[in-house]
Structures are given as structure tokens and as C-alpha cells.
Amino acid sequence: MPVWFPKDNYYQWWAMFRPCTTQRLFLTRMLPNEDAVLYVDTDVIFVHPIEDFWRKFYAMNEWQMAGMAPETESYKHNVYIKEARHPFFQPFALNAGLLMMNLTRLRAFDLEKRVKRAKQEFEGRVPWGDQDLLNIVFSRYPQGVFTFTCRWNYRGEHCHGEALCTDGPIAVVHASRKMVLDHLEPAFVSLHRTMQNFKLGQNLVDDFIDPLNESLQQTTVTGCTRELRKQLHLLRLSASRVDKITAQASATNKT
């Protein structure tokens, strides 16, 4: 599907931040027949079944239309608290790298009109582009947001000091701010390389978890390296569960 923006100011939207991330602001019009979608950045890896995340749509109340994790769980490391020149969702702002979208409700809310108005009002003050615009919009309508925890949007900030993610086993690793592209976080680089070598249909424990364990043992030790090593036994349990379900389904199909 090609990138799409409103024709009247197409190139302004294209150049605002990153075309494919800005695109999510207009999914309500791009996908007129869809009720709900999950937007995921390309630097995200699921290490837990995505079906469990999708079920969070059923946890939304009647007012909630978008789901996001907080930018951080710490005042000390929060870029919005330190630098933002626009309103944002309280208290820690929202990170839109994983974005649950109830498109039916967002159309009724007229999200597109609201983000256009926010862009015009805060022109030149939205360095994180579409994510900033979503924060502005939902700072004015906080009851519309379903928040989930850092377990489902685990980033480099969660590996250090006061920002440690204590919610439970990691389910999603988000290598934001070019942590993999620029090799800023060795543990995330190891994770991405291991996933890149994994082929769909292979055994998760043998062909993903075991190679990841071996790679992490040889990786430069950082806070994220230590956290991923500590979590490996939990990731192994999750992978083993998926392998078992896959094997049972395969056996059923053969009979």
C-alpha cells in the first residue's frame, strides 16, 4: 500500500518527520472498511505472541479509541517533561511506536481534523512529528486513551537506573532512536540479528532462543544486556508454548 497524505498539503506531511510514521494519522481514511488496526514501528520485535496484545482491544472501555504506552515511567529520563513546547498526555506523555487504533471510534472522533488543527497551532514545536500531535490531541481528551505498560513497549530507556521496567516479562522490544541502526545498544543489535536469521516455521526454542542466548553471552555488557539475559528463561517459556501449539496444529492437519 503506497504512502498517502491529504492532497492539499501532501509534501508538508511527507516532510514533517518520517513518512511511514506520519501515515498512521490518516489510517482512518486509508482503511475505511477496517474497524481496528495495530500500528507497529519497523524497529519493533515481538518476543511474546502478538495475539495476547491484540486481545487488549477487548479491555478498552466505551470511551477509549487509541492505546499507547507511556514515553517513560520516570520523571528523570523523560524528554517531554524536559523539553516539550506543547501540551502532552500526563504525566509522562505517550510513545506511539506501538499504537492500538479503534478506527471506528477514531473516525467518529474525527482524528484527522484534530491532528491537522494541532499541527497548525503548534507548527515548529513538534520535533517528534506525529507522536507529538497525538500527545497534543489526547492531552485534551485523555479519556480516549487506553494505556498499556512498558512490558509491551520495552525500550533502551528501560534498561538503566530509575527507568527499569518492573511490570513483568518483556513482550515487545522497541529499538527506538536508531539503537540498532546506529549500533547504540549492543543487546538490541543481537536480538535483531537473531530474529533476522530466524525463518518462519522453525522451532522457536532451538532456532531463536538458543542462538539469542549464545549471542547475548558474547555481547558487550550494558544494562539492556543484563536485562535480556535475566529475561531469557521467561522468553524460553513463551517460545516453548508457541512451539507446542504449532506442533499440535501441524499434527492435527496431517490427520
196-225: per-residue pLDDT in tens? Answer: 999 999 999 999 999 999 999 999 999 999
pLDDT digits (tens, 9 = 90+) for 140-185: 999 999 999 999 999 988 887 666 777 778 999 999 888 898 888 9
Q: Which CATH architecture has domain 7-150?
A: Alpha-Beta Complex (3.90)
Q: Which long-range contacts (CB under 8 A, 24 or more apart) does 139-144 make?
A: 139/87, 139/88, 139/89, 139/90, 140/87, 141/109, 142/89, 142/90, 143/63, 143/64, 144/63, 144/64, 144/65, 144/66, 144/105, 144/109
DSSP state of 154: B
Buried b (16+ CB within 10 A) or exposed e, 199-228: eeeebbbebbbbbbbebbeebeebbbbebb
Q: What does the domain layout of the chain look like in residue ranges? A: 7-150, 178-254
Q: Residue 168: what pLDDT?
A: 79
Judge contact between 53 and 97, C-beta under 8 A.
Answer: no
In this prediction, residue 247 carries a pLDDT of 92
Residue 162 pLDDT: 62
Share of the chain above pLDDT 90, in %: 80
Q: What are phi and psi of 52, to 5 degrees?
A: -65, -30
Q: What pLDDT, on a 0 to 100 scale, did the predictor assign at position 163?
A: 60
Task: Please name which of 214, 191, 200 lies closest in space to residue 243, comparing C-alpha atoms.
Answer: 200
Rounded percentage of the chain residues whose pLDDT exceeds 70: 98
Which residues, 6 or more positions from 104, have their beta carbon under 8 angstroms from its beta carbon? 35, 36
Mean pLDDT on 134-142: 98
Closest CA to 68 of 142, 162, 168: 142
Q: What is the mean pLDDT of residues 215-241?
A: 94
Segment 3-50, tens digit of pLDDT: 889 888 899 999 998 898 999 999 999 999 999 999 999 999 999 999
Per-residue pLDDT, 77: 80
Contact status, residue 232 vs residue 207, Cβ threshold 8 Å: no
Report the distance separating Cα 24 and Cα 37, nearest Å. 10
Is pLDDT at 76 greater than 90 in this prediction? no
Indicate the pTM of the whole model.
Answer: 0.92
pLDDT number for residue 30: 95
How far is 106 from 137, CA to CA, in rounded Å?
12
Q: Which of 4-8, 118-122, 237-241 has the lowest mean pLDDT?
A: 4-8
CA distance 109 to 89: 17
Which residue matches cell numbers 498539503? Answer: 9
Cα distances from 3 to residues 11, 12, 82, 134, 237, in angstroms, run: 12, 14, 33, 19, 38
